[in-house]
Chain A
Amino acid sequence: MPVNANRTIPVADALSRFSRSWKSAALALAVGSIMLIVLPRVLDDFALVQATVYAVMAILALSLGFVWGFGGILCFGQSAFFGLGAYTYAIAVTNMGDSTVPFMLAIVLPAAFAAVLGYLIFYGRLSDVYMGVITLTVTLILFNLVNSTAGPEWKIGSAALGGFNGIPNIAPLNTPGNIDDVISPRGLFELSLAALLGVYFLLRVLLAFKMGRVIVASKENEQRLLLLGYDSRVYKLLTFVLGAAIAGLSGCLFANWGAFTSPTVFGLAQSAQIIIWVIVGGPGTLVGPVIGCVAIQWLTTQIGTQQTINSNLVLGAILVVFVLMVPKGIVPSLGELGMKLVGAARRTRRSADDTRNVAQDDTHSASREEAA
């Protein structure tokens, strides 16, 4: 077939290729592992506790980053699964004592809930807009439901739901089988960061194989996917359920972190925050939402220490600025900047070497190299 190989072929730029290769995963895991080993030794307990919540929320950010950035599912209700994870853990551990089963339930229950909700949405072939509206509504319903359970009659087993007061004194995770060996602040940090790295690794592996590739394709062009014989509903449902499980894990760790949970975990503000983290950090990447989450959380903490500016105002302004001026988000934009600098350095080196005129064919090969 006469395809003209003599022209410049539009390939993906170096940054995209890097971020899709195992190298970027290895780099991220290496950096994370170093932090896992070093940080507990250099940070005091207070800073470690701060770092823990960053890691825990980063897991939540990852869940939406995967479901939305890769699956194309704009779920406004990740906080619903987050909250379900927190509450499930709290209630289960109060009833059972040993934390092993509660930990697992905190992941399984949100996933099961997502399976039912997802089935109704995807198999009912509701459009994307409905996905957003329905998940948002579910979050609101859960918030209102749990918020109104303040009276002592509201309890599951021996756990009082506490309504707007929440559930205090949540028993922390213990070594499976040994109720008295509870996790320390340092241990919780290590567990949270390890969980973050584990989830990141799992998602990278998933995206490299068939299921991940089909999920990404579904976001690209669902019609073509169907015409190739793939049942997109199954893949979307699996994506949605996995995202919920990860959010549930995050919720469980969050309940541990504060030894407390309240209906705000289901709040609208929480849902919106997750979306902002992903947008600012860089949808379409996994590292982006993590960075976005940590950056914004840190910023919010800093702003919270002073009274002049309302932190929500700042968050809103950041969102507007990013959407208008840095639409790709922090991580891809920084990456592009880095590539430009590397490219400029390469060009000055090359033009210093090349003194003869570049012939037509050389122009072609040079430009293909630049595109590579």
Chain B
Amino acid sequence: MLEANGLCAGYGAIPVLYGVTLSVKSGEAVGILGHNGMGKTTLLRTLIGALPATAGTIRFNHDDVTALAPHARAKRGMAYVPQGREIFPTLSAYDNLRLGLVKTGRKPEAAIDALLEDFPRLRPLLDRAGGALSGGEQQLLALARALAGEPSMLLLDEPTEGIQPSIIEEIAETLVSLREKRDLTIVLVEQNLDFIAAVSQRVLVIRRGRIGDEIPREHLADLDKVSEYTGVHA
């Protein structure tokens, strides 16, 4: 479903990705682990097109999307939940969700109702302005909004940040069931080992702008082992 080859990207004169090669099958959930500054957010932003690739290619569903603008990639079924949520603060939670629906052309009431089945915690918050929600509530809203567009692939940048432990469990369950129900492909950047282990089938490491080894599942629970993969600290 997703194939990145030799992807390079950066900010101005500062390169961050040095030739990322990544392959994700349809319906697969891949987790990406890595320290700060290794390029996790940069990778996702390059995949969705918010950051231009300076070299390399991205293929989505066999089409070359490297030069496409983000909205074109979104139309083809890519969805992105950024770190920092990026909720529209002056719009109500309901309107935020409606915006997510726009490209599907579906009627909002029915579609949002169905969406809220997976996100019941958002029901009492629908009328509140996005900016008035707490950080964790905004995170849930951002996730729901991305799913509202019925994407075939979800790019998640630290979706558990700021979320209370019980809801983290719920989100993990929701993502796993969505993947199975809708054959959703997931690329997940996370720091929470339990979450990434629960949701992903494969966990890769990003290190100094390159995708490195896969961490075997049995090592995920061992902090020291994981540190070896992600890199020894300076």
Chain A residues proximal to chain B, CB less than 8 Å: 2-8, 10, 13, 363-364, 367, 370-371
Instruction: Give the number of chain B interface residues (Cβ < 8 Å).
Output: 17
- The answer, yes or no, to whether B70 is at the interface (CB within 8 Å) is no
Q: Is the CB of A4 within 8 A of B231?
A: yes
B233's nearest neighbour on chain A, judged by CB, is A2
- The answer, yes or no, to whether B130 is at the interface (CB within 8 Å) is no
A38 and B18 alpha carbons, distance in the complex (Å): 53
- The answer, yes or no, to whether B223 is at the interface (CB within 8 Å) is no
Which residue among A6, A7, A13 has the maximum number of chain B CB atoms within 10 Å of its CB? A7
A367 and B12 alpha carbons, distance in the complex (Å): 11
Name the prevailing secondary structure of the A interface residues.
loop
Q: Is the CB of B234 within 8 A of A10?
A: no
A-B contact pairs, 14 of them (CB 8 A): A2-B35, A3-B36, A3-B37, A3-B233, A4-B36, A4-B208, A5-B234, A7-B16, A8-B10, A8-B15, A13-B13, A364-B208, A371-B12, A371-B13
Q: Is the CB of A7 within 8 A of B209?
A: yes
A353 CB to nearest chain B CB (Å): 21
Q: Is the CB of B14 within 8 A of A2?
A: no
Which residue among A5, A8, A10 has the maximum number of chain B CB atoms within 10 Å of its CB? A8
Q: Is the CB of A370 within 8 A of B13?
A: yes
**Contacting A367 at CB < 8 Å: which of B14, B37, B38?**
B14
B81 CB to nearest chain A CB (Å): 24
A2's nearest neighbour on chain B, judged by CB, is B233
A224 and B12 alpha carbons, distance in the complex (Å): 27
A361 CB to nearest chain B CB (Å): 10
A12 CB to nearest chain B CB (Å): 10
Q: Is the CB of B234 within 8 A of A6?
A: yes
Q: Is the CB of A10 within 8 A of B14?
A: yes
| A residues less than 8 Å from B37 (CB atoms) | 3-4, 7
A258 and B108 alpha carbons, distance in the complex (Å): 67
A367 and B18 alpha carbons, distance in the complex (Å): 11
Q: Is the CB of B234 within 8 A of A2?
A: yes
Q: A5-B234, A8-B16, A371-B12 are in contact. List 8 more A-B contacts (CB 8 A).
A: A2-B233, A4-B36, A6-B208, A7-B208, A8-B10, A8-B14, A8-B15, A364-B208
